[in-house]
Structure 1
Amino acid sequence: MPDNGDVGIYQPKGSIATYVIVLPCVYGMQLMWDSEATVSHFAAQADLTPLPPEPLGIALVVPPVQGPLFSPELQLFIYTADQWEEFIYEWARTLTYPVVRKFGGANDHGVDVAGFCSAAGFYGEWDCFQCKHYKDALIPTDVWPEIYKVLRHAKSGYYSLPQKYCFLAPRGLGPSLDQMLLRPGALKREFLAVLASGKVGPAGDPIERAAIATFASGVDFSMFQSIVPADLIEQHKNSPQHTVRFAVPLPVPPPAPTPPDVPNPEETNYLSQLFDVYAEKYGLSARTIEDLSTHGRAHDHLKLQREYFFSAERLRVFYRDKVPSLTFENLQGEVHEGVREIHDDEHPTGYDRLQRVLSASQAISLSNNALISVTQGRDKKGICHQLANDLRLRWCQE
């Protein structure tokens, strides 16, 4: 994905069935893709202020082109190293850590992605995720330098040892390394032997290697682990970036809930506007659902409008954590644009304006939002009531 303020087109490598444009959002005078920043030092607390739940942006789908759709597993194979780190970062943010940081690059001190359990950062409980995007499965010689690096920085006091140190690779681990990680004692013995031979660490500094060996002898090597790619992908389904990254269909939303007998506080504005409509059309003074129960037509009409509203709310809530942030707001904006002229036109009554706007919403062609495949006619009517709830639409006008 772009890491600057330019609008970019992102297509997951290996998937040529769907393109996704991610638009940056304006905060003040800056365009940002994400709030995380690459840093060259690690403070225990100052650098660990909580991040927004996901990278900022709007997912817009462009008409697909013909071609095979590769599985997520195959797409991972042809990522660049940077794309692999970004995927792991997205995955880690679906876990239970209060704070996740991505540090991969020069001067990262052996930490590509870290999950912190508290504001104490590197001096509290934390887990390290080491990203290795190689053309083959990892073997022991791939990990000795990384084990040496984390031990050296922990010994120096740069950070405390992580609770877990996971090697993450799209092709997983070779059988030798896989079995070695399951036998922590054997892993430690083999590492110490390699360290003593000078094949890892400074070859010309046996004193330094001996100091690391002494430190390593007291470390529980069960901290070194791995996670298979299939499990990473399964957990990544909880990320708002999953559908965007792998061009897979959105999950089917649950049925819309039945509106409660007593309205929620969040319904106040659009219900107030509907009561104004009924007062104008029928001469009613009712301001509650119970008061309206004696007027059959108005009561039935209100019941239907609330069903529309809750249908749209179901979309908003269900997909809130399944697509990039502001995607649903963009959908609301499209509906607003589609009904604005009808809304702003002259109408005999607020009821006429409401009905014309609801009808116009059904004719809107939603062609570029990631939610179009799951948006139904009732949802578009419900979005009109959401817009009324936000006072962007007003049925009765002076």
Structure 2
Amino acid sequence: MDDYITAHQVSVGTQIEPIQRIKIMSADEWETLVEEWLDTKTDKYLKIEKMGGAGDMGRDVIAYINNPKDHPTNYQWDCYQCKHYSQTLAPSHIWVELGKIIYYSFNKEYPVPNRYYFVAPQGVGTSLSNLLDNPQKLKLSLKKNWENYCENGISNKSIKLSDSLLKYFDNFNFSIFDKQLPKNIVNDHKNHKNHLLRFGGGLPNRRANVNIPPLNQESNLRYINQLTKAYNSDSSKHIEKAVSIIGSKYENHFQRSRKSFYSAEELRLFTRDNLPVEVYSKFKDDIFDSVINIAEENFDNNGFSKLKSVENQASKTTIESNPIREVCQTIDKKGVCHQLVNEKQLTWVEDE
């Protein structure tokens, strides 16, 4: 074996491609993944609701196009029916699902969806795919199979395809039924914050440069005011405003502090876009727990000494289990201190 073996490889094993991983998910995990995938379609849907289980009347995941509260009898929606089998989806797997949509919309339990999609990790087999591409043939096939699959499969009572239900069936628009390719679902899911949580693969690269706004846009931020007070507690010459720090002996530290604050802000946004929101909150809590004892020590009213001691401790903090440890830098740890000041969890000099 010529390849170098890393500790990470031994720990997690060979990476499983997402398109293969979805095949070993449980049915509930698959429904959750579909719900998350649809959560990325904010330009198309107002809200997503996962139903599933008994009483869902044939609706696993509902994608609302408009608000059902505003249109209780004729709201627009798409249905995503999750079918998790060990093989590709076949016609026999879906007859009862089609029957449910027809029966419950006939009884006005809900309006007919604009589109009804089958979503299956193994995909749709050739026979079913051909039927979905031919609405008239799909209708005739369902009618032929109604007695065997739907008559006693929709609910706990027998539902015969006759009289007014048959008329409704014959007029039903079967072109609403379609399928979604699993590869498209996996690819689109990359835009969801839980994608790495579901599939792994490592975080993307962070931005190389941090954008720092002009100082006049920061004048009301608490961390800037606290920096000014910290310098005043150390200086024999009073600094009236933050802009006066420029040109003073504190300028270099001031600019480093601003850069670290915005580096931490960039990391916060980076984490928000790639991981669950609580990941960054936990990182910030770890920094707080590491520095708070030092922050509570007596520095003889010298806020600048306190600030530097806290920053030094933050930079030494080991991030052990948090997934952002691979992209976190020392500057981010110091920047969190200023975020904590902004949120009034840390203070360099007590506010008057």
Q: What TM-score do you get using the length of structure 1 for normalisation?
A: 0.77
TM-aligned CA deviation for residue 212 of structure 1: 3.5
Q: In 1, are the aligned partners of 2:119 and 2:179 still within 8 Å (CA)?
A: yes
The answer (yes or no) to whether the contact 2:151–2:160 under 8 Å persists in 1 is no
Confirm or deny: 8 A CA contact 1:312 1:382 kept in the other structure. Answer: yes
Is 2:226 the counterpart of 1:277?
A: no
Does 2:66 align with 1:118? yes
Q: 2-side partners of 1:332 and 1:64: how far apart? A: 30
Q: 1:1-398 maps to which residues of 2 (within 5 A)?
A: 65-96=11-42, 97-120=45-68, 123=73, 124-195=75-146, 198-202=147-151, 208-209=161-162, 211-264=164-217, 268-295=221-248, 297-348=249-300, 349-397=302-350
Q: CA deviation at 1:169?
A: 0.5
Displacement of 1:271 after TM fit? 0.4
- Supply the RMSD in Å over aligned alpha carbons: 2.5
Greater relative CO (CA pairs within 8 A, separation 6+): 1
Equivalent-residue separation in structure 1 for 2:194 and 2:40 (angstroms):
10
Q: Distance in 2 between matches of 1:112 and 1:206?
A: 22
Asked whether the 8 Å contact 2:223–2:339 carries over to 1, the reply is yes
- Secondary structure of the residue aligned to 1:371 is helix
Which 5+ residue runs of structure 2 have no aligned equivalent? 1-6
> Does the CA-based 8 Å contact 1:289-1:299 persist in structure 2?
no
Deviates more, 1:242-251 or 1:131-140: 242-251
Given that 1:267 and 1:389 are in contact with CA atoms closer than 8 Å, whether structure 2 keeps it comes out as: no
The 3-state SS of whatever aligns with 1:338 is helix
1:99·1:117 contact (CA, 8 Å) conserved in 2?
yes
SS at match of 2:254: helix
Query: Counterparts of 1:359 and 1:206 in 2: how far apart (Å)?
Result: 73
Q: Structure 1: 5+ residue runs without aligned partners?
A: 1-16, 19-62
% identical equivalent positions: 29
- Change beyond 3 A, Cα 1:254–1:145: same
Q: Deviations over 1:312-344 (max 9, x none)?
A: 001112221422232211110001111122222
How many residues align structurally? 335
What is the rounded CA distance, in whole Å, between the counterparts of 2:304 and 2:254 in structure 1?
12
Max radius of gyration: which structure? 2
Give TM-score scaled by structure 2 length: 0.87
Distance 1:291 1:396 in 2: 18
- 1:119 deviates by 2.5
> How far apart are 1:136 and its partner, in Å?
0.5
In structure 1, the residue corresponding to 2:191 is in which secondary structure?
A: coil
Which one has the bigger helix percentage? 2
Deviations, residues 146-183 of structure 1 (Å, cap 9, x unaligned): 11111110010000011111101000000121232223
Provide the rounded CA distance (Å) in 1 between the counterparts of 2:112 and 2:217: 48
Q: For residues 119-141 of structure 1, give each alpha carbon's deviation from its aligned partner in whole angstroms, at most 9, with x where no partner exists.
A: 21664111111110001000112
